[in-house]
Amino acid sequence: MTVPVGPDGALAVYSAVGDAFAGRRIGFGRRRAALAANFARNRGRDDEAVAASWVAGLLAEIGLLAGPKADKPEGEGALEEAGPLATADVALHAAHLVAAIPGLPRGAADIVRWHREHDDGTGVPDGLRWDGIPADAAALGIAHAFVAAVEDPEEPRDATEALFGIAAECGRAFRIELVRAFREFIASAPDRWDAAPEVALPAPDRHELGTALSTITNDTIMGGPTPNSSTTITIPWTPRLDGVTSRVATELGLDRDGAADVKSLIILARVFFIVTGAPA
């Protein structure tokens, strides 16, 4: 089949690409998205906020495509090993891309930008603290930590152990009342927390995404200090990128045309990041 894949369209591909570049199992982002969305629903958030949490969970690590490390070998924990500054850049770039995709729920980009902030102000990219961190972003940070713990390839934790580790970070990384609500939510749905949320979700295909991102990059080039309609962007295609394309296409059950779509989506994101530069 070709993209779109399932109910999420090209977003599912970008989620899987983010998983691959972060050195994670394909499907990590989808579980993170489901957990964030279901937790949002449990907290009484409306449909748009639930959908925003879903999209943010899917795309939280697509910003990894912005940096030179996107061309380097895979490795578990690649994002964390890159250090705090690189982690901040990943969140900023991912939020920049999410904001550029038309039709996504309001607030999704902000959730992506701030899901790595810490309650004590030591997080990134903006050093927000306490109630200055939007609750949905803080909740995605908790969801990310939980899924990372239960899927840790070296020492996977069960839900109880994962929750214990999160509780230990109360008041530093995570907001106390949100952790309390999260523990109650997991206890109420121990086998259903990663079920697809029941909410209308956007599903742009490759062509919709391509049109939106290409328009922005072209406008950036033409509107720059020295507009140049003949500007050419070259994306070196490395064995690393080939490996990610093949892995994502295989895991998502795509045929050769689908693999070509995965490659096109990777190129689109890389060009977008290169042309538009680092967001503020």
Does residue 36 have a pLDDT over 80?
yes
With a pLDDT cut of 90, the percent of the chain lying above it is 65
Amino acid identity for residue 26 in this structure? I
Does residue 99 have a pLDDT over 80?
yes
Does residue 69 have a pLDDT over 60?
no
| CA proximity to 214, closest of 108, 100, 104 | 100
Does residue 276 have a pLDDT over 90?
no
Q: Indicate where the chain has its CATH 1.10.3210.10 domain(s).
A: 7-188
Quick one: tokens of 183?
């523990």
Average pLDDT over residues 270-277: 87
At residue 78, the pLDDT reads 47
Average pLDDT over residues 27-41: 96
Does residue 189 have a pLDDT over 80?
yes
Handedness of CA 90, 96, 100, 101 (dihedral sign): positive
Q: Cα separation of 234 and 17, whole Å?
A: 20
Question: Which is higher by pLDDT, 234 or 218?
Answer: 218
Q: What is the pTM of this model?
A: 0.89
Please tell me the CATH superfamily of domain 7-188, with its number: Hypothetical protein af1432 (1.10.3210.10)
Q: In the structure, what pLDDT confidence band is assigned to residue 147 with cuts at 50, 70 and 90?
A: very high
9 neighbors 200 (Cβ within 8 angstroms) = no
Does residue 32 have a pLDDT over 80?
yes
Q: In the structure, what pLDDT confidence band is assigned to residue 231 with cuts at 50, 70 and 90?
A: low
| CA proximity to 39, closest of 139, 161, 109 | 139
| CA proximity to 40, closest of 177, 143, 168, 129 | 143
Average pLDDT over residues 213-227: 72
Quick: pLDDT tens for 115-131.
999 999 999 999 999 99
Residue that has been written with the tokens 């990590």 in this structure: 28
Does residue 89 have a pLDDT over 60?
yes
| CA proximity to 39, closest of 203, 199, 165, 197 | 197
